[in-house]
Structure 1
Amino acid sequence: RGAIIFTNDGDFAAKLSHPSSEIEKEYLVETSYPLPEGLAARFMRGIRVEGVFYKAKSAENVNTHKMRIVLVEGKNREIRRVFSDAGASVRSLQRVRIGNLRLEKLEEGKFRELSEKEVKGLLSLCKNQESVIKALP
């Protein structure tokens, strides 16, 4: 649950979602039981699960049951797979930030339009941004 960007602009979507753009996505993960000791540090060093390598840009325990994680690539179900491999049951997973957009006082299930400034801000965060900004209308 949490922040997600819906768009009908294929170029914009491709630029944001491609791993080479290195757009940060921040998550809050809550577990049913205390977090395994050292999981945040291992996730930042990199963890191999069933032959796939997963690595967080940052991971820090918020408390005994909650961790804040920043991913850049964000492979399918990455957080759930890493936590499951560590024996941790994910109770809640929420994306709280995409690039420069932070999930704020928006009710669950609601949406809002991004401003032109927010769109340009997101695109400016993309690696190889000169080619991205030239593509703007």
Structure 2
Amino acid sequence: MKTKHFRLNHFLSSCGVCSRRKADEIIKSGKVTVNNKRSLDPAMKIHPEEDQVKLDGKGIHPPQQKYYIAFNKPKKVITSMNDPKNRPCIADYFIPVGFESSRFKGLATKRKKPKSYGKIIPNGYKKAKDRIFPIGRLDWHSEGLILLTNDGDFSRKVLQKKIPKTYLLKLDGRPTTAQLLKLKKGVYTEVGRLKAVYIKELKQQASQHSWVKVMLTEGRNRQLHRMFEKIGFQIKVLRRIGIGRLKLRSLKPGEYFLLSPMDIKKVFSLPSELQSKKSRKISKRER
């Protein structure tokens, strides 16, 4: 079977170098060569097995093995694989390790200066060093579930689809039902209209604080903070606990696991709260 041709920007993205949009910028800057000739055209068609693509003189190749990882990001950690200011970042939690199975849980091992940023050497592939990167982001003070991969196509699919993401919030007060309903209908902020697709105050003992479960299909900068500020509340704790139907489970901050094929399917499935009764029955049979 013949290997299909790829656009140059698509090839860089699928190799995990960067996003397709960023690939356009890199190519137009003249940093990419194809068969030792500089290419400035992101739409140029290349054949992965026949053409030699280089970035800054270094060869670009498809990942030897693709990884799909669920990670529980701790607070005060940058959602990046490096940081010019030397702040703690996600890469600090991924050192060369042997993944014994798809259900392996890796306890975070913090190092001040990791020797290998974003490199994973899986069991049986000691020479494989595939670059991984986070899909999307969580703010410095936020915590919870974030996906990482070295598969550019998977990353783009997750970012382009409006996948519901579930958050657990601790507020500095107790909002009324009417105030929460207002957020579901949508509020206008300096960045436009923002809304939740699901929102519910969780049952709790008498307290001056409130825990609220919220689902969003957008990921604008500080979206939840902007929304709750509009109804007069500050968020004290922001924790993402689900992406699609994939849940954070019992992962502690800094722990991670490899996604199984069923886990990947859950990423693109609706949470039970947004499903019809018929869909819920089907989902239960799949578990």
Structure 1 or 2: larger helix share? 1
RMSD: 1.8
The farther-off stretch of 77-86 and 36-45 is 36-45
- Which residue in the other structure is 2:197 paired with? 57
The 1:121/1:80 distance shift into structure 2, 3 A limit, reads: same
Deviations 1:80-130 (A, max 9, x none): 1111222201110111110121111111111111112212343466xxxxx
Contact 2:195-2:227 within 8 A present in 1 as well: no
Does 2:23 match 1:23?
no
- Which residue in the other structure is 1:33 paired with? 173
Contact 1:36-1:88 within 8 A present in 2 as well: no
TM-score relative to the length of structure 1: 0.80
Deviations 1:55-77 (A, max 9, x none): 11111111461111111122221
Aligned residue among 61, 70, 74 for 2:219: 74
Does 2:260 match 1:120?
no
TM-score relative to the length of structure 2: 0.40
| 2:267 alignment partner, SS class | helix
The 1:61/1:10 distance shift into structure 2, 3 A limit, reads: same
Q: Name the CA distance, whole Å, in 2 between partners of 1:24 and 1:124.
A: 9
Where relative contact order (Cα < 8 A, 6+ residues apart) is larger, the structure is: 1
Does 2:231 match 1:86?
yes
Which protein is bigger by CA-based radius of gyration?
A: 2
Identity of aligned residues (%): 31
**CA displacement at 1:7 relative to structure 2:** 1.2
- Which residue in the other structure is 2:130 paired with? none
Gaps of 5+ in 2: 1-142, 204-208, 271-287
